[in-house]
Chains A and B, each alone.
Chain A
Amino acid sequence: MKKTDAPAGKEKKWFAAVTLSCLFLFVLCAGLTIFVDPYFHYHAPVEGISYSLTDGRYQNDGIARHFKYDTVITGTSMAENFKTSEADVLFNAHTVKITYRGGLFKEVDQGVKRALSSGNDVKRVIRSLDYSFLVKDKDQKHDDLDFGHLEPPEFMTNDNPFDDAAYLLNKSIFTEAVAGDLKNSLDGEPSDTFDEYGNWMAEAPGFGKDQVLSTYVIQGRVSEDVPVSEAELKTVHDNLEQNVIQTALDNPETEFYLFITPYSIYYWDMMDSQGKLKWQLDIEEAAVRQLLEVPNIKLFAWGDRADIVTNADNYKDQAHYGDWINTMILNDMAAGDSLITKENCDGYFERERELYMNFDYEGLH
């Protein structure tokens, strides 16, 4: 680049003006972000500011650490439609929701651990356990996030203050979260509630048979059953041990309301086509028996409820049910219905196998 001859004083002023201006802008940006703190990284919500609850993986850690509560609802997209207002009434509690769409057991467990070490007296944890995430490596936090551009925000979930620059000097967070919250506050909009947080009902394309069938394709049916291997059983065991059971054992004063997510019959249709019906049922049985050994785990399941799982109107795809099922789950939990115990689990397994092994899957199409 060619330089023109300019008085040295002018360039000194130029350099000083540029560096001081940049410093000022960085401090202003970081300062505003710390003050508003849209992701609750430093403090609880500031009174008078209207907060949007939209970015689970960015906000969950802050919610766990800075909010006041005695009940936590957590899990995957299967738990996103829970209404904390219903849980508050049913359990006479003060509930927050921290869910991880697509998160495997390890990621959810890290959130639970954060909540349990927050200083709150956490009386209960309500958590989903997805069938399809049982056979996953215990240290894996999520599957390939298809078409995702960036890695999950470790800087929001670790205790390293030096990488907070990624939060404080982040144009997306500043222009969308900080500016968005300030604008909502000026417009007099209320903060989002936990009922709304993560709730995907408005995004759902619809429910019912046509919708569900449009989400998957059966290539052909395998006639032979795929057996469960010892390695798979060990994977399930280690996954549950590290990412579910150990946390419960470490917190004996807290009750863990876990539920096996009631996937639709169409999920079992897919399993049947792959020869994995018995495989999945065996995996589930091993998992359930392992969980029943823990005294402060209350395990709920509706896999034997044909009225729920065979009713396509409850589902938008093979797995995801509407929020009325979430309401039903909470009600059952509060009433103690659909609770699986050591005494009744054999009957549960028997009814499940009866339902899924004898179902007319061809008739679904």
Chain B
Amino acid sequence: MSFASYIFILIFMPLTVFIKLFLDGRKYYMAADIFLICASFVFCGFYKPVYACVLLVSLVINFLFSRLLLKKSGQKMLLTGAIAVNVLALFYFKYFNFCLSAFAKIRGGEFRALDIILPLGISFYTFRQLAYLVDSYRGETKDVSFREYALFISYFPTLIQGPITLQESFIPQLKDLNSRKADYTRLSHGLYLFSVGLLKKTLFADVFGRAVDTAFAYPDLLSSSDVILISLFYTFQLYFDFSGYCDMAEGVSGMMNIKLPHNFDSPYKAVSIEDFWRRWHMTLTGFLRKYIYFPLGGSRRGKIRTYINILIIFLISGIWHGANYTFIIWGLIHGMLNCFDRLIKKLMPEKQNTLVKCIRVVLTFTAVNFLWLLFRCGSLSQAAMLFGRLFEGRTEGMTAVISSGFNIPEFRIVESFVPFAASMVTKMPALPAYIFLGAAAAVVFVCRNSHETEFKPDVKTALFTIAALFWSVMSFTGISSFIYAGF
């Protein structure tokens, strides 16, 4: 199930929030937790029940491992084995076909992909469980019941795209019975945050996403400026989609009195790659730092070892994001840029004027923007083709076609009221796309993010929430434009 769907907004979310708060209000805390677990499994297995089965099996096995780790302290072998089981499971579902294809290429043979499902959210709940196993090894999960563990792992707001919550921040909230009463402060704030996230997803991410999909369906036809355009489109798509999702997760979770960690802090305002990773997918960075970087020694074993550790972290991050060489290269480049940032950090003056900061933001954004293009490409050869196209100076492309998706009903409504708007769009078909880019850039570079702005339950926020929720739901489906090429 997706947050941005009719069934979630109109049925699942209101029902789940209401029943959860009702049960908590009656002090049926166990029933409330069990209900939420069931709701999470329904959420997970809604389109494919097998996803819920995989989650259940993974959850049970890991809880048993964690219990063994608590009983027998200092069992490094047991911990290694438990981690290996999870990593192997993740490897099988996510990376087995990729490895088979790589192996076939080396041997020069034919590759036939196996029909392996990719269970929903497996990357996220695997990482959460790995963290939990390490915490169990350290004796930190003694008073966590199976019910609490099951809810922590299956919790539907965090299932598909995180944030990667840790037991130390999640479980105490379940045990804090005082915080489980229905609270209109949290309900209204949560609803507001959810609507902000939904608006980001439907009105920005999905619109950018359609243009990107169109372009990547015909990459050979792109001009040099098209490549720049779609890199920007994808950069904004990714941000609005991911941060929108996280806002929705925080919002719906907040309504149920469970606070989730922030995952984004205006990442495109970063002044360096190091700063970028302090603002982008913050819980992933936190997980990698706590459970991999620090155990490897962090920065305490000399400069060279520090840089190696950083590269390892980013290599793991790249691999975690997807089964393709593009993700690996993307991760490694980010790692190298991170090392470079550390190298030159000492050369940077502590206080920098606005101009210097702006230049650094632009440079960082440019690097991140083009690295996202690599992230999106289906193969290294496609990436090489697109990056090469950047420098070819090719003028003939498909700007009008990839921009056509930006002429959304909202613009057409404006065109019907503003006399010269329609003729402007006729003369400059890409104008709506540029307006969208401008609006996205303003939101990302100028506006304060949803965690910096103060929420006040007043008329302004009420009207915004109503408009955002209503218009976003109305935007879930459009009318297909069948531009039949043979016609």
Chain A residues within 8 Å of B, Cβ to Cβ = 1-4, 6, 8, 10-12, 14-15, 17-19, 21-22, 25-26, 29, 55, 57-58, 77, 101-102, 143, 145-153, 155, 162, 165-167, 169-176, 200, 320
Contact: B457 with A1, CB < 8 Å? Answer: no
Separation in Å of the A37 CB from the closest CB of chain B? 15
SS of A interface (majority): helix
Q: Give per-residue flags for B70-101: 1 if the beta carbon is below 8 A from chain A beta carbons, else 0.
A: 00000000000000000000000000000000
Contact: B475 with A171, CB < 8 Å? Answer: yes
Residues of B within 8 A of A173 (CB): 479
Contact: B482 with A57, CB < 8 Å? Answer: yes
Q: Give per-residue flags for B271-286: 1 if the beta carbon is below 8 A from chain A beta carbons, else 0.
A: 0000000000000000
> Who on chain B is nearest to A177 by CB?
B479
Residues of B within 8 A of A55 (CB): 479
Contact: B474 with A169, CB < 8 Å? Answer: yes
Residues of B within 8 A of A101 (CB): 482, 484, 487
Contact: A176 with B409, CB < 8 Å? Answer: yes
Contact: B476 with A166, CB < 8 Å? Answer: yes
Since A148-B482, A150-B477 are in contact, a sample of 10 more A-B pairs with Cβ atoms closer than 8 Å, ordered by chain A residue number, is: A3-B185, A4-B455, A12-B184, A18-B191, A18-B462, A21-B462, A26-B473, A166-B6, A170-B476, A172-B477
* Tally of chain B residues near chain A (CB < 8 A): 51
Given A1-B189, A21-B466, A147-B483: A172 in contact with B476 (beta carbons within 8 A): no
Query: Within the assembled complex, what's the spacing in Å between the Cα atoms of A165 and B6?
Result: 7
Separation in Å of the B16 CB from the closest CB of chain A? 15
The answer, yes or no, to whether B471 is at the interface (CB within 8 Å) is: yes
**Best-surrounded residue of B184, B187, B462 (most CB of chain A within 10 A):** B184
Q: Select B474's contact among A6, A15, A170, beta carbons within 8 Å.
A: A170
Residues of A within 8 A of B183 (CB): 8
Contact: A171 with B191, CB < 8 Å? Answer: no
Q: Select B480's contact among A8, A14, A152, A320, beta carbons within 8 Å.
A: A152
Query: Within the assembled complex, what's the spacing in Å between the Cα atoms of A100 and B189?
Result: 48
Closest 10 CB pairs of A and B: A146-B485, A14-B457, A171-B474, A165-B6, A102-B484, A150-B480, A166-B477, A11-B184, A172-B479, A12-B184
Residues of A within 8 A of B470 (CB): 22, 25-26
Chain B residues within 8 Å of A, Cβ to Cβ = 6-7, 10, 183-185, 187-189, 191-193, 210, 214, 401, 404-405, 409, 412-413, 450-458, 461-462, 465-466, 469-471, 473-487
7 A-B interface contacts by CB (under 8 A)? A8-B184, A12-B184, A166-B477, A170-B477, A171-B478, A175-B409, A175-B413
Q: Select B214's contact among A143, A149, A170, beta carbons within 8 Å.
A: A149
> Who on chain B is nearest to A171 by CB?
B474
Separation in Å of the A27 CB from the closest CB of chain B? 11
Query: Within the assembled complex, what's the spacing in Å between the Cα atoms of A174 and B405?
Result: 18
Contact: A11 with B457, CB < 8 Å? Answer: yes
Q: Select A171's contact among B214, B461, B471, B485, beta carbons within 8 Å.
A: B471
Residues of B within 8 A of A200 (CB): 487
**Best-surrounded residue of B6, B185, B401, B455 (most CB of chain A within 10 A):** B185
Residues of B within 8 A of A77 (CB): 484, 487
Given A1-B451, A3-B454, A169-B473: A11 in contact with B478 (beta carbons within 8 A): no
Q: Select A172's contact among B404, B409, B473, beta carbons within 8 Å.
A: B409
Q: Select A22's contact among B187, B404, B469, beta carbons within 8 Å.
A: B469
Query: Within the assembled complex, what's the spacing in Å between the Cα atoms of A150 and B191?
Result: 29
Residues of A within 8 A of B482 (CB): 57, 101-102, 145, 148, 152
**Best-surrounded residue of A11, A18, A167 (most CB of chain B within 10 A):** A18
Residues of B within 8 A of A147 (CB): 214, 401, 404, 483, 485
> Who on chain A is nearest to B465 by CB?
A18
Query: Within the assembled complex, what's the spacing in Å between the Cα atoms of A167 and B469?
Result: 17
Contact: A149 with B462, CB < 8 Å? Answer: no
Separation in Å of the A307 CB from the closest CB of chain B? 25
Separation in Å of the A83 CB from the closest CB of chain B? 20
Query: Within the assembled complex, what's the spacing in Å between the Cα atoms of A149 and B471?
Result: 20
Separation in Å of the B468 CB from the closest CB of chain A? 10
Contact: B10 with A1, CB < 8 Å? Answer: no
Given A169-B6, A169-B476, A171-B471: A149 in contact with B481 (beta carbons within 8 A): yes
Contact: A11 with B188, CB < 8 Å? Answer: yes
Q: Select A170's contact among B189, B412, B478, beta carbons within 8 Å.
A: B478
Residues of A within 8 A of B10 (CB): 26, 165
Query: Within the assembled complex, what's the spacing in Å between the Cα atoms of A104 and B12?
Result: 38
Residues of B within 8 A of A171 (CB): 409, 471, 474-475, 478
Contact: A153 with B466, CB < 8 Å? Answer: no
Query: Within the assembled complex, what's the spacing in Å between the Cα atoms of A236 and B485?
Result: 23
Residues of A within 8 A of B409 (CB): 171-172, 175-176
Contact: A1 with B450, CB < 8 Å? Answer: yes
Given A15-B184, A18-B462, A320-B487: A57 in contact with B480 (beta carbons within 8 A): yes
Query: Within the assembled complex, what's the spacing in Å between the Cα atoms of A29 and B476?
Result: 14
Separation in Å of the A225 CB from the closest CB of chain B? 25
Residues of B within 8 A of A148 (CB): 480-483
Separation in Å of the A272 CB from the closest CB of chain B? 19
Residues of B within 8 A of A17 (CB): 462
Contact: A2 with B454, CB < 8 Å? Answer: yes
> Who on chain B is nearest to A318 by CB?
B486
Q: Select B454's contact among A4, A15, A143, A146, beta carbons within 8 Å.
A: A4
Residues of B within 8 A of A167 (CB): 477
Separation in Å of the B192 CB from the closest CB of chain A? 8
Residues of B within 8 A of A152 (CB): 480, 482
Residues of B within 8 A of A145 (CB): 480, 482-484
Query: Within the assembled complex, what's the spacing in Å between the Cα atoms of A19 and B470?
Result: 10
Q: Select B188's contact among A18, A58, A174, beta carbons within 8 Å.
A: A18
Separation in Å of the A151 CB from the closest CB of chain B? 7
Residues of B within 8 A of A174 (CB): 474
Separation in Å of the A42 CB from the closest CB of chain B? 17
Contact: B185 with A11, CB < 8 Å? Answer: yes
Query: Within the assembled complex, what's the spacing in Å between the Cα atoms of A97 and B353?
Result: 69
Given A57-B482, A147-B483, A165-B10: A6 in contact with B471 (beta carbons within 8 A): no
Contact: A25 with B466, CB < 8 Å? Answer: yes
